[in-house]
Amino acid sequence: MAPEVWSFSVSGFDVVRSWLAYRMKDGAGRRSSPLDEIRPERWAPAFTEEFLELLWVLEATVAMYPALESLLGRVVAGPTFAAVELPSPTEAERAAPSAPSAPAEQPTLGLD
């Protein structure tokens, strides 16, 4: 595994280390319910497949960095516009969205 893949992080979140920690017998993270205590007893074959897919995605992402850096440089160096050139939102557009209302009758799960 390339060092760039192993050390890949998003906003300080170490992706590979975290993925592994949450799948270990002792687990990682906070415990909020008894369900958090249900841990794998052994490494499942599905873990291997999932882990390889994660590594492939991270490898592809790291490989794209030079192109992404170039693109970002072109965007930053490109033309800009002033905030006054943007349309002003109406009061209705500024209002917080209302909470969706619950349906009059809740659907059943067919377990009756």
pLDDT at 25: 65
pLDDT at 101: 74
pLDDT at 60: 96
110 lies in a domain?
no
Q: Which of 1, 41, 34 is nearest to 17 (CA)?
A: 1
User: Phi then psi for 105, rounded to 5 degrees?
Assistant: -125, 125
* Beta bridge mates, 31: none
Provide CB contacts within 8 A for 53, sequence distance 6+: none
pLDDT at 34: 79
98 lies in a domain?
no
82 lies in a domain?
no
83 lies in a domain?
no
Residue span of the structural domain in which 49 resides: 3-76
Q: pLDDT, tens digit, for every residue of 49-108? A: 999 999 999 999 999 999 999 999 999 999 998 999 999 999 999 999 888 776 667 666
pTM greater than the 0.75 cutoff: no
102 lies in a domain?
no
pLDDT at 40: 77
37 in Cβ contact with 31 (< 8 Å): yes
Q: Which of 50, 27, 53, 31 is nearest to 40 (CA)?
A: 27
Q: pLDDT, tens digit, for every residue of 17-38? A: 988 888 876 666 667 787 777 7
With left for phi above 0 and alpha for psi between -120 and 50, is residue 84 left, alpha or beta? alpha
Q: Could you tell me where the DSSP H helices lie in 78-105?
A: 91-94
